Amino acid sequence: DTAVSQTPKYLVTQMGNDKSIKCEQNLGHDTMYWYKQDSKKFLKIMFSYNNKELIINETVPNRFSPKSPDKAHLNLHINSLELGDSAVYFCASSQFEGEGNEQFFGPGTRLTVL
């Protein structure tokens, strides 16, 4: 069984379009994350949700809007896509237990904006 799944795996779209990426985890974790990994492989956190509540919101353009309908799902909607949004987006989850909680990553969504 897939622990953290994302759809789609690849997304190619034109500048200015709006797109969504979906994430689901079946690990029973209470915290989910979105990360962006750019062409230089730098993995940077964008958002984190704990039990459907937004707890981390890094400096991300407001064109990016996360939504967590329940603690097993965290979706990312991106409006007015720009060339610089091209990257791999990873969803991850963990169980918040204070220190030392491992994050489990999804397979990633490679977004290419043309």
- The footprint of other proteins (CB under 8 A) covers 40-45, 48, 50, 55-56, 90, 94, 96, 99-108
Nearer to other proteins (CB atom), residue 18 or residue 53: 53
Nearer to other proteins (CB atom), residue 44 or residue 63: 44
What is the nearest approach in angstroms of other proteins to the Cβ of residue 18?
25
What is the nearest approach in angstroms of other proteins to the Cβ of residue 7?
14
Nearer to other proteins (CB atom), residue 18 or residue 58: 58
Q: Answer for the pair 74, 64: CB distance below 8 angstroms, yes or no.
A: no
Nearer to other proteins (CB atom), residue 79 or residue 96: 96
DSSP 52: T
Residue 108 carries which side chain, given as an amino acid letter? G
What is the nearest approach in angstroms of other proteins to the Cβ of residue 108?
5
Q: Where are the beta strands (DSSP E) in the chain?
A: 4-7, 10-13, 19-25, 31-37, 43-50, 53-57, 64-70, 73-78, 87-94, 104-105, 109-113
